[in-house]
A and B are shown apart, each in its own frame.
Chain A
Amino acid sequence: MARVVNQVRTLRFLAGEMTQAELGEKIGLTRQTIAAIEQGKYSPSLEAAFRIAQVFGKPLEEVFSWEA
């Protein structure tokens, strides 16, 4: 089944093991929502996805991709 996959966990690690709470605070999401995104249980809105990419200084397609 096609789904959105993401590199948020890896990018947090590369950003000095940024915590889920810290990332959530930067973009206005809760820690639990960041956890759900990382687990692939929740696909964020386009706005939230852009904000996450902006935090890590990456283009959107390097953070989120469509896995067919």
Chain B
Amino acid sequence: MPFKEKIAWISVVTTILVWGGFFGFMLTTGGKLHGAVYFTGFIAAVIVQTILATGAAIVTAALAPADAGAGSDERDRDIARRAYALAYPVLIGLVFCVAGSVHLGFDRIDMAYAIMGAIVIAEIVHYAAQIAGYRRGN
């Protein structure tokens, strides 16, 4: 498995676990807790994902140093370009939906978290598209 595909797997799994946990917590509590609780959770999610993704990437690189040291070639760049091309419209579409939610009575804080959710979903689409590209071969 190419090193970049391993990194994409690490990224998608940690993103789903960490941000799924954070937004799951928000949804189950219905946003009724004090704002500081959610903000602390948000900061914790950023830190936990950084630690998990970085740690896993370091271990993966240590297990296959030659693959990790290799730069991107034309296939990697093609796959990355296509993944961005897929994720970007998803991000734009979701951000427009969030912007439209102002008419549903969402406040600024809700919208900020909704935009964060849109970024997370777009990132998941991006990594998933990368994985699909590597699985397919191009």
Q: Decide yes or no whether B82 CB sits under 8 A from chain A.
A: no
Stretch at the interface among B9-17, B67-75, B83-91: B67-75
Judge whether A41 and B136 touch: CB under 8 Å.
yes
Looking at B1, B2, B66, B70, the one whose CB has the most chain A CB atoms below 10 A away is: B70
> How would you classify the secondary structure of chain A's contact residues: helix, strand, loop or mixed?
loop
Cα separation A32 to B74 with both chains bound (whole Å): 12
- Smallest CB–CB gap between A5 and chain B, Å? 14
- The size class of the interface chain A forms with chain B is 10 to 19
Judge whether B75 and A29 touch: CB under 8 Å.
yes
Q: Decide yes or no whether B138 CB sits under 8 A from chain A.
A: yes
B residues near A44, Cβ cutoff 8 Å = 74-75
B residues near A21, Cβ cutoff 8 Å = 66
Cα separation A37 to B11 with both chains bound (whole Å): 26
Cα separation A28 to B75 with both chains bound (whole Å): 11
Judge whether A29 and B73 touch: CB under 8 Å.
yes
Cα separation A65 to B136 with both chains bound (whole Å): 21
Tell me which residues from 5 to 49 in chain A have a Cβ below 8 Å from any Cβ of chain B: 21, 24, 28-33, 36, 39, 41-45, 48
